[in-house]
Amino acid sequence: MRRPVGVIVLVWVLAVALATPAAAAEDDPTVGDLTVLVTSADGTPMRERRVEVLNAARGASVRGYTTVEGTVRWPTIWSGDSEVVVHDGYAEQRFPVRVATGTRLTARLAATHAIGGRVILQGTRSPMAGITVLVSGTDGTSVFTTTDSRGTWQAAMRHGGTAITVTEPFYDKWVPYEGPKADASRTIAAVAHDLLDVDVVMPRLGAVSATVRPARAYGLILERDGVAGWRAGERPDGSRLDAVAPVGPYLGYTYGTAESPSLVTYVGDTVRRVDARPVVVREHTTTEVSITAVPAAVVTGTVIGADGKPAKGALVWIEQLDRYGYTRVQTSSDGRFALGGIASGPVRVWIGHERSAARREVTVRQGSTTNLGAIRLSRSGTVKGRIDTGGRGGVWSFSLVRADGTLADGDGTWSVVREHEQFALRGTPPGTYRFVLHGSNYSRKVTVRPGHTVDIGAVRVGRRFRVEGTVRTSQGPVARALVIVRDARGTELRRTRTDARGRYSVGGVRRGTYTVTAELGGARSALGRRTFTAKGHDQRLPAIVLREPGALKGTVRDPSGRPVAGVVVAVGGRSATTSRTGRFSLGPVRSGSAQVVVEDPYVGGFLTKRFTVAVRPGQVATADVRLRR
C-alpha cells in the first residue's frame, strides 16, 4: 500500500528534531561544545562559581554555575573566538578560548586576597552606609561594592597595586541625581595578604539654597577646580533650588535655555568669571545664593537651500565683530534656527550647507530677537588649477583672500599641494578674491560665480633663488636665532635657525620684496629685521643686528576708572592677562609702532579695543586703557 506523502514528511521532521546536539554540532561548523573546569591557584576544583561565555562577534552570551567537580558544560555553543569570565566572589577573571567540537578549558584562578575597610565622614568620623566603593587593580580588573550599616566594605583582589574610589550620589527629597557629589580615594601600593583596615574619609558636607531669575534659566551650577559637578535641583513648588555639596569654595553660575535665552551669568550677576562672587559651602550650614541672569540677543531665520527647499542640518555660525563671542547651531528639519548666547552689537552670520553658503552682517540687541527671515543659499563655486615651478618641485601653500583680508570659507581657507598636483578649492562662496601663493609674492584676482568652476590653469612660480646672511649682536654672531622670511603680503615662505656661527640660508625666494626677521628668546631676548628686494639671483644680505627690544606695561580700567582683571592684552604675537589690579606687562616687544589689541574673553564683557603705541629699544612704553561696554 502506498503511504501518503504527508506521513513521510512528518517522520523526517521528527527524526531531525530528535537528533542530539552533539550530532548537530558535528554537522554545523558554526556550532561547537565547551566544557570549563574552574580551579583555584593550587588546582582545587571550585564549586558554585558563576561562569559566562561572551562571543563579541555575535553579541551574545550564556552563563552557568560550576558543579561539585568544578565544571560547567555547554553541549551546543557558537564556535570561534570567545571569552570565558569566571566570577569569584567580588572579583572576576577572564580567559580567552577558541570553541570547536570537544573544546575543554581549565580556568585556573589567580590567588586573591580580601581587601576592605570603612567609609567615614570627615570631622565626626561617623560611618557612612550605602556608599558605592570602586576597587580597581593595576591589572585592569575592577569591583564595585557597597558599604553596610556600619560603613564597612569588602572585596577580593589579586596581587598588585589597588586604587579605591568612593562616591556617593547624595540623593535628597529635592535633588535629582546629576553625577557624583563627593568623592575620596586611596591607593594601596600592593596587596599581598588580607587587608581589612583601609579607611576612606569622605568630605564634610553643607547645603546651598538658590534663587535664579528668570525662573526658566537653567538653574544653578556649582563648579570647583574647573569641574562642574553639582547641579542644584528644583523644589516641587519651583520656589528655590537646593544642592548638597562638600565643604569648600565654588563658582556658581547659570545659563539660558530656549525658553529663556541668557548669557552665562555668575553669582554676583556678572558675565565675567573673574568678577564672580564665590559660593562658600560650610558644614551643616545652608548658604543662600541669588542670580539674575543677563539676557542674551537672539537671531532667528529660515535657511533655504540652493535647490529651493528648506535646508535641514545647515550650520549657522555667528561671531561678534566688536567683542569676544561666537556660537553656532544646526537648522531643524524645516530649515529654521534660533541662536542665543550672544551680546549686543554687530555680528557676522555665516551659513553653510552642502557646498552652498551665505553671509549676513546685522546688529543685534540683548533682550531682543532679530529675525533674518528666509536666507537663500547661493550655490558655491570651485577654483582649480595646478602649481608649476618648472620642475624644481616643492610643497606650496595658498589661500583665497577677500578684499577685507579675511579668508574664504569652504576648502578655500587654506590648502597645501605639491608641484604639478591639481588642486580644487570647493565650497567657495560666490565673490571676488585674491589667489595668494604663500611666500612667493604671487597673487591674482579670481571671481567665483554660483555653481561654476574657475580654472586658473598653471600657477607659474618661475625661477627661485636663495638668500643667506648672518645674525649678530654688538658682541658677535648669534647661534640658534629664529629666522623667518615673509613676502610683501606678509605670508610666510620659510623659517630656520642660525648655526653656531650665526649663519642662515633660505631657498625658494622669487622676485619681489621680502622681510627677514630674527629673534632670540629667553633671557638674551633680542629682535632684528631687514627688508630686501629679490633681484633674480642668489643674494647675500647684510648682517641682521639684533637690538635690545622694548617692553609694554600699563593698566586696564572700566569706564568708571575701576581696574579690570582677566582681560587679554596682545602685541607682536605675545599676550598677557591683566591682574586683579588691572595691570599687565609684555615683553620683549619689537621697537617701532606696535599694534595693541585688548580683548575681554567673556561673552557680553567689554568691547575689544585696538590702538598703536610707540616702543623704543631698551625702554618700557606705557599704555593706560579705558574699555567700553
CATH (domain of 356):
2.60.40.10
Identify the three-state secondary structure at position 6.
Answer: helix
| Residue 5 pLDDT grade (very low, low, confident, very high; cuts 50, 70, 90) | very low
Mean pLDDT of the region 340-352 = 91
pTM of the model: 0.66
Spatial contact of 109 and 95, defined as CB atoms under 8 Å apart = no
| 89 located within any domain | yes
98 and 132 inside one domain: no
Q: Which of 545, 579, 610 is the last residue of a domain?
A: 545
Domain contains 339: yes
Q: Kindly state the percentage of the chain with pLDDT values over 70.
A: 82
- Contact criterion met (CB below 8 Å) for 267 and 277: yes
Q: How far is CA 416 from CA 334, 411, 548, 611, in A?
A: 37, 11, 37, 34
532 within 8 A of 511, measured Cβ to Cβ: no
In this structure, what DSSP letter does residue 275 have? G
Q: Alpha-carbon distance 71 to 565, whole Å?
A: 70
User: Which residue range(s) make up the domain with 359?
Assistant: 297-379
Residue 369: inside a domain? yes
Specify whether 456 is located in the same domain as 399: yes
- Is residue 4 assigned to a domain? no
Q: How many domains does the chain have?
A: 7
What's the average model confidence in pLDDT over 615-619?
A: 87
Q: Which of 178, 202, 226 is the last residue of a domain?
A: 202
Domain C-terminal end among 460, 487, 504:
460
The C-alpha cell that represents 545 in the structure block: 643686528
Mean pLDDT over 47-55 rounds to 90
Residue type, position 126, single letter: S
Nearest residue to 435 (alpha-carbon basis) of 395, 491, 476, 499: 491
Mean pLDDT of the 74-103 span: 86
The CA distances from residue 445 to 328, 412, 440, 454, 459, in Å, are 31, 14, 15, 11, 12
With 90 as the cut, is the pLDDT of residue 241 above it? no
Which pLDDT score, from 0 to 100, does residue 387 have? 82
Q: 598 falls in which pLDDT band (50, 70, 90)?
A: very high
Q: Kindly report the CATH number assigned to the domain that includes residue 212.
A: 2.60.40
Candidates 530, 528, 546, 527; CA nearest to 587 is 527
pLDDT per residue as tens digits for the range 453-489: 999 888 887 778 899 999 998 889 999 999 999 999 8
Q: Which three cell numbers stand for residue 184?
A: 575620596
Determine the Cα–Cα distance for residues 273 and 284; give it in Å rounded to an integer. Answer: 28
**Average of per-residue pLDDT values in the chain:** 81
Strands 453-460 and 381-388: parallel
Give residues with Cβ within 8 angstroms of 467, minimum separation 6: 485, 505, 506, 509, 514, 516, 532, 534, 538, 539, 540, 541
- Please say whether the beta carbons of 487 and 514 come within 8 A: yes
Residue 508, helix vs strand vs coil: strand
493-536: per-residue pLDDT in tens? 889 999 999 999 998 888 899 999 998 876 557 788 899 998 88
